[in-house]
């Protein structure tokens, strides 16, 4: 064999090996438990994803984090680095580097990217909130700032984002004050609820192809059906109106932050909720799934009587959300909000009482019962009730 041919053959072999490493497929001769999540999800056409903590991804002392993101998931979401405070810490000066790094990582590993998030009331830069508070930024100017931000960000990432969370958590919860469900937070307060339609139009003008999502928590199931006390119904009526008035919204993201201490749902309830949204012509996705538990003294002391039921309940809830997603052909992706208890927002956020144990792997990257359930659902679900996804075309 000539040297040049040897080099070409070697290069092709390496490229193939690289591609296989980058995108493991389900292999019939490997036990499902040993297959990757992304390989198992592939036959449903389902993208399986995780939020990515960029500090953990860069940590050379924690190589398993990076390896797991690459090997197990087919879509990634920036946990923080596409938020406004990170992207534009100083007015007019964009810091694209951390988000670009995630995009490059995703491209190397053949992963799609969910963009999170264009409009949210949290993690806004100080210059913006302070300017509004001291009156140096008027509401009229604020609307222009929002338009310019959405346009700049969506254009920067154009062609690289599969789904954008355009508007996040715009709707109140029944425990808020006043209790009647309403448009809440900074943006509604200053711009009225019209900012929601505006945001979708501005995002579409900047990227004709990305799927544009409304994203929220506590919308996994419908309640009373009365929008005054049922958040899911309120969101349903909102997105229905947006569709009817020609606003370019393509999907609803259901975050899926659950807790084992609450009354839980069953698959049929969650599946019904997805179906009502997709009957409007929308796609859906689970965008931030985790199932946390209270870390009682017994749990913290390692008491298996207290730990085991929590791990089982957590696993059961992961399974319910995933089954519901699989049941609906327009549920395009299932993303977990962190995959290891080593890097999860839960213990830092819920401290009184402390909560944790919310993810698929423990702090030492050992698979938990939840990982087994998720893999088994992906492995053993199929026709006639589970069929491959139907991709939605962006609405223009």
Residue 36 vs 314, nearer CB to ligand G3I: 314
Residue 130 C-beta: closest distance to ligand G3I, Å:
17
Min CB(349)–ligand G3I separation in Å: 6
Show the tokens assigned to 363.
Answer: 């702090």
State yes or no: residue 77 binds ligand G3I (CB under 6 A): no
Given 49, 79, 105, 368, the residue binding ligand G3I (CB under 6 A) = 79
Provide the minimum distance between the beta carbon of 279 and ligand G3I in the complex, in angstroms, as a whole number.
25
Please confirm, yes or no, whether 79 is among the known catalytic residues: no
Phi, psi (5° rounding) for residue 84?
Answer: -60, -45
Q: Which helix (H) or strand (E) holds 146?
A: helix 139-156
Asked if 211 contacts 250 with a C-beta cutoff of 8 angstroms, the reply is: yes
Tokens read off for 221: 């199931």
> Is 211 or 336 the residue whose CB approaches ligand G3I more closely?
336
Toward ligand G3I, which CB reaches closer, 90 or 122?
122
At residue 84, the 3 state secondary structure works out as: helix
Active site residue 363: no
Of 79, 88, 220, 288, the active-site residue reads 288
**Contact status, residue 165 vs residue 119, Cβ threshold 8 Å:** no
How far is Cα 145 from Cα 374, in angstroms, rounded to an integer?
42
Identify residues 160-179 at the interface with ligand G3I (CB under 6 A): 168
From 84, 187, 213, 345, residue interacting with ligand G3I (rule: CB under 6 A):
345
Structure tokens given for 261: 């201490």
- 80 is an interface residue for ligand G3I by CB under 6 A: yes
123 binds ligand G3I (CB under 6 A): yes
Q: How far apart are the first and last CA of the chain?
A: 55
Kindly name the residue from 169, 220, 355, 377 that is annotated as catalytic. Answer: 169
Distance between CA atoms of 139 and 136, rounded to whole angstroms? 10
Binding to ligand G3I (CB under 6 A) within 265-304 occurs at 288
- DSSP letters, 200-214, are HHHHHHH-SSSEEEE
Phi and psi torsions of 283, nearest 5°: -85, 165
- Of all residues in this chain, which one has the CB nearest to ligand G3I in the complex? 345
Which spans of this chain sit near ligand G3I (rule: CB under 6 A)?
Answer: 79-80, 122-123, 168, 255, 288, 345
Q: Which residues are catalytic?
A: 169, 288
């Amino acid at each position: 064999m000539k040297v040049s041919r040897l080099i070409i053959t070697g290069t092709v072999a390496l490229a193939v090996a690289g591609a296989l490493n980058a995108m493991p497929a389900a292999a019939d001769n490997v036990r499902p438990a040993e297959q990757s999540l992304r390989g198992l999800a592939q036959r449903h056409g389902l993208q399986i994803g995780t939020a990515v903590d960029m500090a953990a991804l860069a940590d050379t002392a924690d190589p398993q984090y990076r390896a797991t993101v690459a090997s197990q998931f087919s879509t990634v979401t920036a946990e923080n680095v596409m938020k406004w405070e990170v992207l534009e810490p100083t007015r007019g000066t964009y810091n694209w580097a951390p988000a670009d790094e995630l995009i490059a990582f995703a491209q190397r590993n053949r992963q799609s990217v969910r963009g999170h998030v264009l409009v949210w009331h949290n993690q806004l830069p100080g210059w913006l909130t302070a300017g509004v508070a001291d009156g140096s930024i008027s509401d009229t100017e604020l609307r222009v700032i929002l338009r310019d931000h959405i346009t700049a960000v969506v254009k920067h990432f154009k062609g690289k984002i599969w789904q954008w969370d355009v508007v996040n958590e715009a709707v109140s919860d029944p425990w808020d004050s006043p209790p009647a469900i309403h448009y809440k937070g900074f943006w509604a307060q200053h711009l009225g609820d019209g900012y929601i339609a505006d945001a979708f139009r501005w995002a579409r003008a900047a990227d004709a192809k990305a799927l544009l999502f409304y994203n929220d928590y506590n919308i996994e199931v419908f309640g009373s059906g009365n929008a005054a006390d049922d958040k899911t119904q309120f969101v349903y009526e909102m997105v229905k109106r947006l569709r009817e008035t020609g606003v370019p919204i393509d999907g609803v993201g259901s975050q899926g932050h659950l807790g084992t201490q609450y009354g839980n749902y069953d698959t049929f309830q969650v599946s019904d909720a997805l179906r009502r949204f997709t009957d409007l012509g929308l796609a859906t996705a689970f965008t931030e799934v985790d199932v946390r538990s209270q870390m009682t003294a017994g749990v913290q002391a390692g008491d298996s009587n207290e730990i085991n039921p929590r791990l089982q309940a957590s696993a059961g809830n992961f399974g319910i959300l995933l089954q519901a997603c699989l049941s609906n052909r327009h549920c395009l992706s299932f993303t977990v909000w962190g995959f290891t208890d080593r890097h999860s927002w839960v213990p830092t956020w819920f401290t009184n009482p402390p909560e944790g144990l919310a993810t698929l792997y423990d702090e030492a990257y050992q698979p938990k019962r939840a990982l087994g359930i998720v893999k088994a659902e992906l492995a053993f679900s199929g026709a006639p009730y589970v069929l491959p996804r139907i991709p939605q075309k962006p609405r223009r």
